[in-house]
Chain A
Amino acid sequence: MTTLTKPEAEPTPQESEHFLSVRDLYVQFATEDGVVKAVDGLSFDLDRGKTLGIVGESGSGKSVTNLAILGLHNPRNTTVAGEIVLGGQELTGASPRTLEKLRGKKMAMIFQDSLTALSPYYTVGRQIAEPYMKHNGASKKEAKNRAIEMLAKVGIPQPQTRVDDYPHQFSGGMRQRAMIAMALVCDPDLVIADEPTTALDVTVQAQILDLLKDLQQETGTAIILITHDLGVIANTADDVVVMYAGRAVERGTVRDILKTPEHPYAWGLLGSIPRLSADVDVPLAPIPGSPPSLLNPPPGCPFHTRCAFTDTVGGDRCRTARPQLPAGRGSACHLTQDQKRDIFIEQIQPRLR
């Protein structure tokens, strides 16, 4: 076990009655090479009926955060510190039994690759029915009827017969629908969708996202949508957290993030989306370099090694001082508010058209 030394705490947004509130979350893995700081002081809030998008590259700590909320990390090599409060209940210190009772009932997860995430050995119906039987004490028959009802709800044709099919007999899109049915079978208050559309083709992606939205309107579920695809965020999220190297680097409404992003990393993400309207011979502008090692994160701003604006900030500030994320709308960057606005309008925006 590792003891955590807490660096200067990130200023927390005002204390309020949010449905889910994550405060100063740290998740660290002990590996042979050292301690990996997968999540490094993350805070966010989510209300019922709202969708929070968490965006970032692979390895930015998106998935780890959400596995920590569900308590699915391996306790043998993982340290979780900070506060996760779901509906007034503290989760980081909760016993495995308590978490087990909450998982599937109050909080559920939709995983990305539905072929490996569903067991090949049991029928789709059984896998959907299992949590319903466990959490609601339903009989086998009731649970099966519920599974059929859920399959119909997520748009599987002939649910009465498909309920007895195995996952390999479903198409990719249908499997993802079945996965959603499985997550929603107990009417959870929080659904975490971890790249739910990554393995699907674009038309099916849109269907799945619409489905999630419809179900949310029906039940008032809070959704955390993890993705690296800003296009997915645009149509579904209310608020967005941009993560980089285990930290939130920018936070705002979906409009803020897409229309007036402030952090150079968010600019990079926006710039690397291909656009149909763009000229064919204009190359995409990827973010140079690769994400930093979380074993040994660079000092100062973790993005400074890939950032084009360290000289604008001037001096050594980006390499030595860690920029803080202000409460509410804002970004963790040393550029001044005016610089951020000017650079975005003058240099970034023209490239996004």
Chain B
Amino acid sequence: MLRFLARRALGAAVIILAISLITYLLFFVLPTDPAQLACGKNCSNTQLVAQIHHNMGLDLPVYQQYWDYIRGIFVGRSMPSGQSCPAPCFGFSFANDQPIWPLIQNRYPTTLSLAIGGSAAFLLIGVGLGMLSAWQQGKTFDRVASSVSLVGNSVQIYFIGPLAIALFADKLGWLPHGSDPTWSSDPIGSLTNMILPCLVMSVIFWSNYSRQTRSLMIEQLSEDHIRTARAKGMSSRYVFYRYALRGAAASIITIFGIDLGTVLGGAIITEATFGLHGLGMLAVNAVGSLDLPLEMAVMLISASSIVIVNVIVDACYAVIDPRVRLA
């Protein structure tokens, strides 16, 4: 088990390194000169542009630039201009010349809690509904749940988001909306503020998960080992939870691992719908203003978190299915 995890972690590290290299090359080796983007109104002044080049370290060889960038993330660096950038250093924003990390530090709790809260919501609701449907297979509950799932599958966040705000926040007043307290100043307010976005985000996923879970459970229940367990005199309930769910869980977790990217995308759309200040908004603004260092940092962080969560998913998979540990 430990060896399995070590191997996966090593693989993940290599992948993250590769991602960092590709993003780095994409942004700094492209024909667009970053200095041209950073110079603002003074671009006709060649001397100034050369100065910016030097300040950003662009006059160094590419491998040196990359090394400085990666090193900066871990131990911080001081730019050739003399600006110091404490670790983790992702460089300075083109837009306002501020270090990038504090910007991200302010935003990522929102996105993270949205992704975690939303995932928890759709896993609980979706898998729960799917299990109930499988248990009640062919009965009224199963049929109703299947139809509702179809509706859930076909709506979009930006459609149900405003509806949910109008109903639960404005009309019924059950949940807050409009304020966006920061994580550091008001943790509880920030959390309650997340409930509605998480639920809305989960809707587009839970229908899919309930359908997947239902069919996985039904498939598992027809397996030979289920019959063996029943032949031993184990109760239907026991067989359902201990044997069938265990088998289905392995597949559900795999699907979840594949869906992670979509979850992050969903979180970004949800942020926009609810006007939350998360990484998504930050990235969109960065793209709009061609703020390359900021874009790079957001990309690197989101890609790394997907890779890391995938390692966790693999670990869960190995816990559930002993055969995986050998692989």
Q: Is the CB of B233 within 8 A of A134?
A: yes
Question: Contacts of A118 on B, CB cut-off 8 Å?
Answer: 225, 228
Cβ-based interface call for A105 (8 A):
yes
Partner of A166, one of B228, B243, B322: B322
Task: Bits for B264-308, please: 1 = Cβ < 8 Å to A, else 0.
Answer: 000000000000000000000000000000000000000000000
Partner of B230, one of A103, A120, A135, A166: A103
Residue among B224, B232, B236 with most chain A CB within 10 A = B232
Write the nearest CB–CB distance from B229 to chain A, whole angstroms: 7
Cβ-based interface call for A104 (8 A):
yes
Q: Is the CB of A104 within 8 A of B232?
A: yes
Complex-state Cα separation, A44 to B323, whole angstroms = 43
Q: Is the CB of B246 within 8 A of A121?
A: yes
Chain B stretch 117-143: residues in CB contact (< 8 A) with chain A: 138
Residue of B nearest to A192 (CB): B231
Partner of A108, one of B231, B234, B321: B231
Cβ-based interface call for A95 (8 A):
no
Complex-state Cα separation, A199 to B57, whole angstroms = 69
Q: Is the CB of B224 within 8 A of A111?
A: yes
Q: Is the CB of B233 within 8 A of A103?
A: yes
Partner of A130, one of B224, B232, B236, B322: B232
Write the nearest CB–CB distance from B243 to chain A, whole angstroms: 6
Chain B stretch 313-327: residues in CB contact (< 8 A) with chain A: 320-323
Task: Bits for B203-227, please: 1 = Cβ < 8 Å to A, else 0.
Answer: 0000000000000000000011101
Write the nearest CB–CB distance from A123 to chain B, whole angstroms: 8
Residue among A117, A120, A121 with most chain B CB within 10 A = A121
Question: Contacts of B231 on A, CB cut-off 8 Å?
Answer: 70, 72, 103-104, 108-109, 111
Cβ-based interface call for B247 (8 A):
yes
Q: Is the CB of A120 within 8 A of B232?
A: no
Question: Contacts of B236 on A, CB cut-off 8 Å?
Answer: 96
Write the nearest CB–CB distance from B10 to chain A, whole angstroms: 25
Given known contacts A120-B321, A120-B323, A121-B322, is B227 in contact with A72 (CB within 8 Å)? yes
Residue among A100, A119, A134 with most chain B CB within 10 A = A119
- Tally of chain B residues near chain A (CB < 8 A): 21
Q: Is the CB of B233 within 8 A of A121?
A: no
Residue of B nearest to A66 (CB): B231
Given known contacts A166-B322, A166-B323, A168-B323, is B233 in contact with A119 (CB within 8 Å)? no
Cβ-based interface call for B45 (8 A):
no
Residue of A nearest to B138 (CB): A76
Q: Is the CB of A111 within 8 A of B234?
A: no
Given known contacts A72-B230, A100-B235, is B224 in contact with A116 (CB within 8 Å)? yes
Complex-state Cα separation, A120 to B228, whole angstroms = 12
Complex-state Cα separation, A119 to B320, whole angstroms = 12
Question: Contacts of A6 on B, CB cut-off 8 Å?
Answer: none
Q: Is the CB of A131 within 8 A of B234?
A: yes
Complex-state Cα separation, A116 to B222, whole angstroms = 11
By size class, the interface of chain A is 20 to 34
Cβ-based interface call for A45 (8 A):
no
Q: Is the CB of B228 within 8 A of A119?
A: yes
Q: Is the interface of B mostly helix, strand, loop or mixed?
A: helix
Partner of A135, one of B233, B243, B321, B323: B233
Q: Is the CB of A182 within 8 A of B322?
A: no
Q: Is the CB of A111 within 8 A of B228?
A: yes
Q: Is the CB of B322 within 8 A of A120?
A: yes
Write the nearest CB–CB distance from B1 to chain A, whole angstroms: 13
Question: Contacts of B138 on A, CB cut-off 8 Å?
Answer: 76
Task: Bits for B60-88, please: 1 = Cβ < 8 Å to A, else 0.
Answer: 00000000000000000000000000000
Cβ-based interface call for A57 (8 A):
no
Complex-state Cα separation, A104 to B236, whole angstroms = 14
Residue of B nearest to A182 (CB): B232
Q: Is the CB of A102 within 8 A of B233?
A: yes
Question: Contacts of A111 on B, CB cut-off 8 Å?
Answer: 224, 227-228, 231
Cβ-based interface call for A101 (8 A):
yes
Question: Contacts of B322 on A, CB cut-off 8 Å?
Answer: 120-121, 166, 168
Given known contacts A121-B247, A121-B321, is B232 in contact with A116 (CB within 8 Å)? no
Task: Bits for A87-109, please: 1 = Cβ < 8 Å to B, else 0.
Answer: 00000000010001111110011
Question: Contacts of A256 on B, CB cut-off 8 Å?
Answer: none
Q: Is the CB of B225 within 8 A of A117?
A: yes
Cβ-based interface call for A83 (8 A):
no
Residue among B225, B231, B246, B320 with most chain A CB within 10 A = B231
Complex-state Cα separation, A70 to B227, whole angstroms = 11
Residue of B nearest to A106 (CB): B233
Given known contacts A72-B227, A111-B224, A168-B323, is B232 in contact with A119 (CB within 8 Å)? no
Write the nearest CB–CB distance from B48 to chain A, whole angstroms: 66
Complex-state Cα separation, A117 to B234, whole angstroms = 15
Cβ-based interface call for A113 (8 A):
yes
Given known contacts A121-B246, A121-B320, A121-B322, is B234 in contact with A130 (CB within 8 Å)? yes
Chain A stretch 124-146: residues in CB contact (< 8 A) with chain B: 130-131, 134-135
If A116-B224, A116-B225 are given as contacts, then 16 extra A-B residue pairs at C-beta distance below 8 Å, sorted by A number, are A70-B231, A96-B236, A100-B235, A101-B233, A102-B233, A103-B230, A103-B231, A117-B225, A117-B228, A118-B225, A119-B225, A120-B323, A121-B243, A166-B322, A166-B323, A182-B228
**Nearest 8 CB-CB pairings of A with B:** A104-B233, A103-B233, A104-B232, A116-B224, A119-B225, A131-B232, A109-B231, A166-B322
- Jot down 25 A-B pairs with beta carbons below 8 A, ordered by A: A70-B231, A76-B138, A100-B233, A100-B235, A103-B233, A104-B233, A104-B234, A105-B233, A111-B227, A116-B224, A117-B224, A117-B227, A118-B225, A118-B228, A119-B243, A120-B225, A120-B321, A120-B322, A121-B243, A134-B233, A135-B233, A166-B322, A168-B322, A182-B228, A182-B232
Residue numbers of B with Cβ under 8 A of A are: 138, 223-225, 227-236, 243, 246-247, 320-323
